[in-house]
Each structure stands twice: as structure tokens, then as C-alpha cells.
Structure 1
């Protein structure tokens, strides 16, 4: 096994696949979570673990009869999608810039939203339950419809990749957009207010929680599942547009059948069965990796990415890392690196090379090979990818 049990005095043990010592603030955050009375068995830290809010990004928290909204986070259902296409790299020659510009035209990024609404957006069955969501988002129905099929900002991206056999892959990273964020904020606020009213002593207010069986828990769990479904659908709609653009440029618009399709969350919570019991599992920056589960572990915009298959490691609650993990904050990256650094580190990748994406420079992230080396007991590598085109949010 490639994990260590941290030498910390906590109510529940902390198992770490990180392969390095945690920084003081990271250690305290891990201890805070492991001190909660409803944590089940232990806390599992993935190789890409780093500071988050309330709980570390790259942590897997199994709980009995309780969930922590801030541990799931505000980008509910954030995750990855990928398609292995029946195309080869030589078919992309002299077409990458055109494909990138068409993607940027077809898929809104940042704060932008869709100007025209497709039928598969308006026909999504999830809209039938919108009226049941938290009253704090009832005025966001039109915005939610317009944002379904949009990328967002930050570290979200769309990439065209090649594997070691020169096979073409489509890959993207996004979540539940503004509606998921707002739902999470509403419930995090409710949890914090509830903790104050009941005078629950917590090591961090961001660890305020809901107890199963209460109206607050039921409301959060309902909204959480809806937002996770929205996030998955968001990726499906963008991927369909992405696929159409690539088919148009490579195959004259002829529809093609993907060789492999993967769509997985890495910021979410589900009810699962572990060590003989039903528990709630929160993966904050972690991917489910049950035996034969397919997952996606991206590097930075200048590094390799991996398609993996889970090994079902019980100690990790059948989980693995979700990416390279940041080495420095966005502010630090902008201070430390120059535009020339960005151009150099993204050499050979068709992408924007401007100050607006400087905080996403590859040097701001951990080496993805290091992350992969620390989780050989969690996943097997199915494909190794290298991007040739990248669209950032």
C-alpha cells in the first residue's frame, strides 16, 4: 500500500497517499475533520491534497448520519468528461486553431451564457424539480437554463488530446455553474446558523453539518443530487457540441461513434456501502475508483493527463486523486510567473497565451507524474494523454 497513517492524535485516523508531509495549515484542517464524532473509520487524503475550505481538497470523508455542505464545496458536481474518438493525430494537422476558435464561439466560457437554448437543454427532466429547490434560487431558473452547456472559469477547460497511440481524445472539466454555487451557499449558511442556534462546538464553522432525518438534511440532500445531475448534464451538452465541431473539421460532419466515453464527478457526495455499512461519502477533489470504474485525472494545461480504471481499494473508500493539485495560489502564480513563462510552458499547445490565464500556468501545479506514482494501489492507467489544444474558462 502507498499510504501512511499520519502520526496525529485524532478521534479518527488519517490515511494519506500524499507521499509528503502536510503543511501546518493543511495538518490542522485534516485534524479538524478527523475530530468530528460522525466520521466513519478514517479520513483518506489523496496524492494531490491541498488547502480547501473546511476540508482539504483531495480528501475523502465517510460519515454516519451526517453531511458537511462546505466539505462538498460550492462547485457541486464538478468533474470531467472524455471521449476516445476514431481519429488520429495526423487528421488534426493545420486544423487546431480553427477548432479552438469554433469551440470558443459555440461554448460560453467565464461568466458568459448561451444566447440560444437547445432542445436538449429545455427538455432536460431536471427542470421538473426546479420548483422544489431551495427558495434562495427560485429566481435563477432562467439563468440556470442559459448556463446549462457553458464552461465557467477558473481551472475549467476543454482540451483536444492525443494518446500514446496518436489517438484523438476530447476532454473537458466543468461543474454545476452558478446554480450549484448558489444552492451550496444557501445550505452552508443554513448549517452555520443551525450550529450557532444549537451551540454545537466545532473546530471550524465551515464544518457545520446536517444530521440525517432532519428537514435541513433532507433539503440539502435533495438539492445536492439535483445539482450533481445538472453538472453531469452540463458536461454532456458541451461534449456534444465539442464532438460536432471536431467531426465537422475532420470527417466533414459525419457522425462517429466514440470508442470510450467517461463522465465522472470529483466534488460530490453519495450514499455508498463500505466496510459492511451504508455511509455518506464526500469526495472533495477525488474520483470514485471502484473496481473497473473509469476515471479521469488531468494534469495542468502543459502536462499529461490520464484515463484510469479503479482497483477498488477499500482503505481509500474506493477513491483516487482528481488532478495534479495546485502548488501555489492564483495570486502567487501571477506574481511569480511572466507571460513569457506561460508561452514557454505551453509550447506546442494551441491555446490563448495571455495574462488572463497566467494563474493557470503549468508551473503553478504539482507534477502529475508524482501524483500518479503515489496511487498505484488505487488505479491502473488505461491511457496517457497530452493536449494539443486547450480552451480555458
Structure 2
């Protein structure tokens, strides 16, 4: 029992102990799986070696005791080797020599032969089954005590945890998308009334003094609503729109603003045929330039919209800029408005650190708002 106790103790302590150490070192997933398996295999081999050494030691101690006991028995036997014992031994031997031998018949000989054959067959079967059964039982014992079942349960539980983590991440992504869509819908609801209120106010002020300009404003308003409102409605539930659609919407908006503010001029240039662009970002920048740059300025004003492709760190980027020559940061805003902050949050939620919105002052006056994001055609 001593070799078995020592070997089993080493089996369920060494391998699992090394496996716990591997887990604490926090290797990458593939290396961790390999090292855990090797730890349990090494623990099993080490316990087998310890068992063999302890078994050899116990056999050696047992053989030493047998040899020592044989010498003591021989000494006692020599002490009782008297003439009387020799005479008793010769009498017993003579009794066995005169004992009659039993007569063996042919039938009994055949029966004993069949019995011997059956015994040999059973012995052969036992010789085959015994190692198989013992090996199967020993394998189950080694796997259970050595941490094999624990390793299987660990991998299965880890797989389930990863699946749960993916489901949680997917759920969070869906919730973030729904939140972004809700914010976008709110932004759509804010943009349309702002257009309408400002435009109608301009029409009202021009009806009595400049009826021709008031009529032109109404005509441009109708054209703008006919071309842009359906797109705003469809984009309110989408995370992506198209660049050309937003350029067309910006052109319609600037035509309307030009009818309201005759001193306004604008230009729109694009080096890209079309690309994906989150909805309402461009029109928000244009509206911001009108409100905080052009309207407070006295005299002529100009807004330039430009879209081009940049390559940075082997990645194609879309750079979309809206530049005005208005009052700049010295006016009523410093670039920290709600609309600009909304754009920054949407870019961060959709692209992370890859996309950004920057504002810079122009040397000749005014501000340039630049959106930079991955180019997706």
C-alpha cells in the first residue's frame, strides 16, 4: 500500500498543481492549452516514476526481511536436529513408501484430460481479459486523479464563457446601434424644423420689401424639401448614407440660403465619385458654418465644400472639409456646440480612433471643419 499511496498522492498533486501555475502565468489561449496538457502528462509520468521507485524500495526491504528470517529458521531447525527427530522422520518416509497407489481407469483419465483442457482455455481467456480490464480501470483512475476530466471540463466551460462574452458584446453593439439610430432620428427631427423656421422667417421679412426674392426663397424651399426630406427620413434609421446624396443635399441647402442671403457664394468640389458617409454629418457642418460664420459677418461670404481621398499608414481615408470666411472663433462659437459634439460621438462610436473631427482657423478668417474617416466605396 505504501507505493500506491505515494504514487496516487503525486498523481493528483503534481499535474493539477502545475496546471494551476500555468493558469496564473496567463499565457495566450493556444499556448495555455498546450502547457496545461503537458503539465498533466508530466505529472502522470512523474507519479509513475515515483510509484516504481517506492515499489522497488518496498520490495528490497521485504526481500531483506525474508533473508534474515530464513537464517533464523535454519538456526532453530539445527537446534532440534536430535536422534529422536531423525527416527520420526524415517518412520514417516517408510509409511509413504508402502502406501498403495490408486488404480486409474481410462474413463477417469479422459475426464481429467477434458477438465485440464477447459482449465487451460479459461486460463487463456483470463490472461487476455485481465490486462484489458486492469488497463481500462487504471486509465480511468489516472485520468480522474491526474486532472484529465478537470481539463476537459475547463475547456468546455471556457468555451461557454467565450460564447457568453460574444453574446454580450453582440448585445452591447446592438444596443449602441439602436442608441445611435435614436440620436440620428432626434437629429433629423431637429434639423428639419431649423431649416423651416429660418427659411420661413426670411420669407416673411422679404414679402413686403422684396416679393421677387421671397418668391425665389419659396421656390428653392420647395425644391429643397422635395429632394432632401425623403433622404433624411430614410437615413434616420441607417448608420451609413452616400457622399453624393449628401453633397446634393448641401447644394440644395446652400441654394436656399443664397436666396435668403444674397451676399453668400459657395463652391462644391469632390475628387471621389461616391463613398459611404454617416448621414447628416455634412449638412450639420454646412448649417454650423452658416449660423456661426456667415450670418454674423458683414459683407460677402463664401463657403467651400471639398471631398478628397488621403492615404495614411497604408489606409485610404475620406477627408471632407467645410470652409467659410466668416467671423471665425472670434464670433459666437469656439467649436464646442451640441451639433459638433454629436458628430464627434458618432464618429467615435462607429470608427473609434480612426475617425475624427477637427476645427482650424483660416489665415484669411473663418473656420474650416474637417471630417476624416475610413474610405468605404
Bin for the TM-score computed over the shorter chain: under 0.3
Q: Which has the higher helix share?
A: 2
Q: Which has the higher contact order (CA 8 A, sep 6+)?
A: 1
What is the TM-score with the length of structure 2 in the denominator?
0.25
Q: Which has the higher strand share?
A: 1
What is the TM-score with the length of structure 1 in the denominator?
0.25
